[in-house]
Amino acid sequence: MIKENLDKINASLANGVRLIAVSKTKPVEDLQEAYDAGQRLFGENKALEMRDKHAVLPEDIEWHFIGHLQTNKIKYIAAYVRMIHSIDSLYLLQAVDKEARKHDRVIDCLLQFHIATEETKFGLNMEEAEALLQSPEYAAMKNVRIVGVMGMATNTDNRDLVRREYHTLHEYRDFLAEKYFKGHDEFKEISMGMTHDYDIAMEEGSTLVRIGSAIFGARDYGTPVNDV
């Protein structure tokens, strides 16, 4: 089933859009099956779960961290994580920079924006993002590289609202690219789109879609995962 699901999704991807298989809560056997079908980008939202899966799965997997990240857990992923999508404070970015330095690495990061109308979602607003980008602390960082933006739309059937939120995120990316990343072509990513709205996200310019249940099936949150 996983291979069929991946084939179907890959066939529906717009040009230049990369698929992150969101494998949170799923057993390594499922990830291996996706890997054997050719999938290389995987997304997890818990540091310890990512660590455990990374330890037993092939080395050429690109690990994307997509969840809320606590600073004391960065150490479990800093040696290998390919991209952290959820930078929502200068403090967190500083902590990632520090852990990356210990491994002599540069970790790609996305600024997570609060684009949803819901109160509960994490993320920066533009004022906070600009304060971060203008700070001397950010200017001094050598082991992180900001390569774009990420956002989660409101969890709703209102597709117009979702479209507006994704449209806004695209505008944020363009605004920041122009103002802070001139000559830094790597600042181009827009991580947006999940199982139920990635079609809209792609129409609004997504470069990275994060898809879980359409690949692996519904998640069972009744099963405990490692670090909740």
Ligand X SMILES: *Cc1c(COP(=O)(O)O)cnc(C)c1O
The identity of residue 162, as a single letter, is V
Asked if 192 contacts 123 with a C-beta cutoff of 8 angstroms, the reply is no
> Shortest distance, CB of residue 58 to ligand X, whole angstroms?
22
Is 194 a residue that touches ligand X (CB under 6 A)?
yes
Select 39 or 45, whichever has its Cβ closest to ligand X: 45
List of residues 6+ apart from 227 with CB closer than 8 A:
46, 47, 48, 49, 73
Select from 31, 41, 61, 66 the one that contacts ligand X (CB under 6 A): 66
Site string for ligand X, 34-53 (x = CB under 6 A): -----------x--------
Is 205 a residue that touches ligand X (CB under 6 A)?
no
> Shortest distance, CB of residue 196 to ligand X, whole angstroms?
6
Find the largest Cα–Cα distance for the chain.
Answer: 50
List of residues 6+ apart from 66 with CB closer than 8 A:
20, 22, 43, 44, 45, 85, 86, 150, 191, 210
Select 50 or 66, whichever has its Cβ closest to ligand X: 66
> Shortest distance, CB of residue 20 to ligand X, whole angstroms?
8
Select from 22, 84, 144, 200 the one that contacts ligand X (CB under 6 A): 22
DSSP 8-state class, residue 13 = P
Residue sitting closest to ligand X (CB): 212
Region of 6-14, 92-100, 103-111, 204-212 interacting with ligand X (CB under 6 A): 204-212
Q: Over the range 119-133, which residues count as b (16 or more CB within 10 Å of their CB) and which as e?
A: eebebbeeebbeebb
Residue 45: both structure tokens together: 């939202």
Is 115 a residue that touches ligand X (CB under 6 A)?
no
What does the alpha-carbon distance between residue 215 and residue 195 come to, in Å, rounded to a whole number? 9
Select 108 or 141, whichever has its Cβ closest to ligand X: 108
DSSP 8-state class, residue 24 = T
Site string for ligand X, 130-149 (x = CB under 6 A): --------------------
What are the residues binding ligand X (CB under 6 A)? 22, 24, 45, 66-67, 152, 194-195, 210-214
